[in-house]
Amino acid sequence: MSSSLDALLAMLYRQLKRWWSARSRVIMTVLNPLIWMVFLGLGWGGIFSSQNIPNIPGLSDIPAMAEVIRKAIDSYFKQTFGGVSYVTFMVTGIAVMTAFMGSFISGISVIWDKQFGFLKETLVAPAPRSVIITGRIVGDSIVTTLQSMIIVLLSTVLTSELILTNIPLAMAYVFIASLGFTSLGVVLSLRFSSMEGFQMVVNLLTMPLVFMSGVFYPVTSMPDWMKALTVFNPLTYAVHSVRYWLVGSSTGFNYMNPWTDLAILLGFTTAALSLAVRAFKKATLED
Amino acid sequence: MSDIIVVEDLVKKFGDLVAVNGVSLKIRKGEVFALLGPNGAGKTTTIHIISTLLKPTSGKVSVAGYDVVRSPDQVRKKIGIVFQDPSLDNQLTGYDNMYIHGRLYGLRGRELHEKIVKLLDLVELKDFTYKKVMYYSGGMRRRLEIARSLLHEPEILILDEPTIGLDPQSRARIWEYIRFLKKSYDITILMTTHYMDEAEELADRVAIMDRGKILAMGTAEELKSMLGHDVIYVTLNNDNGDICHFFNFTKSCRSLGGGKIELVVDNASRALPEVFRVVEVHGLRITEVSYRRPTLNEVFLHLTGRELRDSGESHTTPVLARRRWM
Ligand SMILES: Nc1ncnc2c1ncn2[C@@H]1O[C@H](COP(=O)(O)OP(=O)(O)OP(=O)(O)O)[C@@H](O)[C@H]1O
Ligand SMILES: [Mg+2]
C-alpha cells in the first residue's frame, strides 16, 4: 500500500535527519573505532610480523637458516590473518564492529521516543505499527552502515591491502546485519523500561559477542569451547563475509563462504525483525 | 449523522483501578465539547480510547461512523490530536516535525510544504520554522503541536489539556486559536481541561467528569441553572448534619460536610439577613460565610462536595511522561 510506504519513508527520513542534525555525535561514533584501529591495529601489527623479530643468538651465523625461519614466521602470520597484515585483518573487523555497536545503541532511542512522547505521535498515525517500527529500523541501519563505510574509507590510510571495488558488496552485508542487530536492540529496549537495565544488558552482551566473532583474532585459532559459541554468533558471519569481500580471502571455518554467510545473516535478520515487530505491537497495545 | 463521536457505556480498567466507569456521551458535528474534571477523573483515558491508543475494557465508541476497535485506521485518519504530555521530536526542527507528520499521513511535495508554511504562520512560529524544538518555549511547543494536529485537515480535533502549564498570555493565545478554528473551519473540537474558565469560555457543551463518571452534561448555562441564581455557603461551628430543615425558605439546602452548607437562593443579599437570624435563633455560630453567582466550579462543588480548584492541585507539564507508554 502506498500509504504504508509513505509512513516507512517518513520514519526513515526522521532517523536520518536526527543523525544528521547531531553531527558532533557522528564524529564521536567514528572516533571510538578509529582509536581501536590505530592503537590496537598498529600496536599488535608490529608483533605479528617477522620484521620485529630480534636476532636469535647463533642464528645470524647461518643467514640462509635465519631467512627460512623469517619466511616461515611470515607465512604463518599471513595464513592466520587471511594473507594480509594484522592491521588489514583487524580494520575489516572493526568496520563491522562499528555497525554492530551502533545498531545496538540505536535501540536506546526507542526508549527515548517512549519517554519523550514522540512514540504517541507515530501511534495515532494511520499506518500499521509494523511499518512504523520497520521504518525506524531501516533508517537506523542505513545510519550504521554509513558509519561503517566511513571507517572503511578512513582505514585506507592505515592499509593499502583492501579491495576498494568490493566496498559496496561488503556494505550490503553490513546493512543486512545492521537490520538484525538494530532489531535486537529494539527488542531488548522494549523489555527494559529503565535505561540502567538496558545499558547493563548492552554492555554484558556486546563485548563478549564482539570478542567471539573474529574481529580481533581469527575464529580458527580460538579454544574449542569458544569456537563452539562463535558458530552461534551472527556477528561471526558478518565479520567473515565483510572481510572476505574487502580482503579477498576466507578466514573462517570451512563451511563459511559468502553464500552461507548471506543465508545465515538473512535468516537471523528476518527472525530478529519479526521479533522486533512483535515486541513493538505488544508494547503499544498495552493492557 | 449529526453525532460525530458516540461513546456508550465506556469502561476502562487498569488492573483493579477503574479509570473510566460507564461513560456515555454524544458529540455533535461542529461543536466544541469540553470534558471538565479534576486530576485522575479519567479524561485522558477517555481521550486515548477515542483516539485508538487504548482498548476499552467494555463499551462502544465510534468516531465519524467507524468503530475504534474494529477500524482504528479509519478513525486515525479523521482525528488530529494534541496530547496532554509533549509528543514532539525535540532534536528536529519545527518544520521537520511537521514534515514527518505530513508524510505519516500520506501528504507530500509542494502541497505539504505549503500547508506547513501556512499553519506555522497561523500559530505565529514562522520565525522558528527551522529552529530545533529543544529551543522552543513551552507555549511555542504547544502551538507547534496544535499546528501539527491540523496538518492533515482532520474532521475532529482532540485537545487534551491544551493550556496546561502555560502562562496566562500563552493560554489566551491558544484560546484565540481555538475560537478561530471554530469560526473558520468546519471542525469538531473535543477538549479536556481542569480549568472551569476554559470550559466556560470555549465550549458549546461541557461534561463534568469525576472518578471515571460523567456527573452532568450540557451548556455552561444549563449546568449553572441547576443551582439557580445565587449560592450561599455558610460554615457553622456545629457539624450536626441535620440543620437543613432550619433553612426551609431557600430553594435548596445541602450539607457539604464539615459544617459547610450550600444554600441556593434567588437573591443572596436579601436572603442573608434571614440566614443569620435563623442561625442565631438556634444558638449556633457562623464561622464563615460567602455567596457567589454560580460558576462551573460551584456546579462541581454541588455535584461532588469538593472544589474543582482544590482537586486540581498544581499541575505542570512533565518533562518525562508519567506513564510507561501512554
Ligand atoms: N496506563 C495506565 N496504567 C495504570 N493506571 C493508569 C494508566 N493511565 C491512567 N491511569 C489511572 O487512571 C486514572 C485516570 O487517569 P487519567 O489520566 O485518565 O485522568 P485525567 O482526568 O486525564 O487526569 P489529569 O488531569 O491528571 O490528566 C488515574 O487514577 C490514573 O492513575
Ligand atoms: Mg489527563
Per-residue pLDDT of A19-62, as tens digits, reads 888 878 778 878 888 898 888 888 888 788 777 666 666 666 77
Is the residue at A68 inside a domain? no
Chain B residue closest in CA terms to A283? B325
- Residue B324 confidence (pLDDT) above 50: no
Residue B93: the pLDDT is 96
**Residue B161 pLDDT more than 80?**
yes
Q: What's the grid cell of residue B132?
A: 530545533
Q: Do B90 and A6 touch (CB under 8 A)?
A: no
Q: B313 pLDDT exceeds 70?
A: no
Q: How confident is the model at residue B157 (pLDDT cuts 50, 70, 90)?
A: very high
**Nearest to A137, CA basis, from A239, A32, A285, A279:** A279
Indicate yes or no: CB of A126 within 8 angstroms of CB of B85: no
Site to probe by mutation for ligand 1, drawn from B7, B14, B85 as the one with most ligand atoms within 8 Å of Cβ, is: B14
B17-28 vs B32-36, strand pairing mode: unpaired
pLDDT computed for residue A284 by the predictor: 67
Average pLDDT of the segment spanning A222-247: 93
Q: Cell triple for residue A188?
A: 531488548
Contacts 24+ apart (CB under 8 A), A136-139: A136/A11, A136/A14, A136/A15, A136/A110, A136/A186, A137/A179, A137/A182, A137/A183, A137/A186, A137/A273, A137/A276, A138/A8, A138/A11, A138/A12, A138/A179, A139/A11, A139/A12, A139/A13, A139/A14, A139/A15, A139/A16
* Span B175-192, average pLDDT: 90
CA dihedral defined by B193, B194, B196, B198, rounded to 10 degrees? -30
The residue among A243 and A85 whose pLDDT is bigger is: A243
Confidence category of residue B185, pLDDT binned at 50, 70, 90: confident
Q: Is A10 in contact with B325 (Cβ distance < 8 A)?
A: no
Per-residue pLDDT band at B30 (split at 50, 70, 90) = very high
Q: Give residue A68's pLDDT band: very low, low, confident or very high (50, 70, 90).
A: confident
Q: What is the mean pLDDT of chain B?
A: 87
pLDDT value at A71 more than 70: yes
Q: What is the pTM of this model?
A: 0.84
pLDDT tops 50 at residue B13: yes
3-class state of residue A160 by DSSP: coil
Q: CA-to-CA distance for A34 and A29, rounded, in angstroms?
A: 9
Contact check, Cβ <8 Å, A3/B86: no
Question: What do you get for the CA distance between the two ends of chain A, in Å?
Answer: 29
Contacts of A222 (CB under 8 A, 6+ apart): A212, A230
**DSSP-derived 3-state class of residue A271:** helix
pLDDT on residue A56 = 67
Helix (H) or strand (E) holding B233: strand B230-236
Residue A76 placed within a domain: no
Per-residue confidence (pLDDT) for residue B322, from 0 to 100: 41
Q: What is the pLDDT of residue B284?
A: 83
DSSP annotation of B89 reads: -
Which of A2, A118, A284 shows the shortest C-beta gap to B89? A118
Closest CA to B119 of B138, B102, B136, B139: B102
Asked if the model's pLDDT at residue B319 lies above 70, the reply is: no
Q: What does DSSP say about strands B286-292 and B230-236: parallel, antiparallel, or unpaired?
A: antiparallel
Alpha-carbon distances, residue A120 vs A69, A285, B84, B326 (angstroms) = 67, 12, 11, 7
A78 assigned to some structural domain = no
Among B7, B12, B16, B17, the mutation site with the greatest number of ligand 1 atoms within 8 A of its Cβ is B17
Give the contacts of B310 (CB within 8 A, at least 6 positions apart): none
How many domains does chain A contain in total? 1
Tell me which range, A170-179, B211-220, B302-311, is most confidently predicted by mean pLDDT.
A170-179
Question: Which residues form the domain of A112?
Answer: 2-48+85-282
Helices (H), A22-128: 23-35, 42-47, 63-80, 86-106, 108-116, 118-123
Q: Is residue A178 part of a domain?
A: yes
Residue nearest to atom 5 of ligand 1 (CA): B14
Q: What is the pLDDT of residue A285?
A: 60
Kindly list the structural domains of chain B, giving each domain's residue range(s) and its CATH number in brackets, ordered by start: 3-223 (3.40.50.300), 229-293 (3.30.70)
Residue entry with cell 501528504: B107
pLDDT for position A194 = 67
Closest atom of ligand 1 relative to the B209 alpha carbon: 21
> Would the pLDDT of A137 be above 50?
yes
Instruction: Say if residues B192 and B160 touch (Cβ distance below 8 Å).
Output: yes
Confidence of residue B121 (pLDDT cuts 50, 70, 90): very high
Contacts of B91 in chain A (CB under 8 A): 18, 21-22
Identity of residue B273: P
- Burial per residue of B135-167, b for 16 or more beta-carbon CB atoms within 10 angstroms, e otherwise: ebeebbbbbbbbbbbbbbebbbbbbbbbbbbbe
Nearest to B76 among A14, A115, A126 (CB): A126
B317 pLDDT band (50/70/90 cuts)? very low
Q: Nearest by CB to B104, from A10, A115, A119: name it.
A: A10
Per-residue confidence (pLDDT) for residue A151, from 0 to 100: 93
Q: Is residue A67 part of a domain?
A: no
The verdict on residue A75 lying in a domain is no
Helix or strand or coil: residue A70?
helix
A119 occurs within a structural domain: yes
Q: In what order do the strands lie in the sheet with B58-63?
A: B17-28, B3-14, B58-63, B66-67
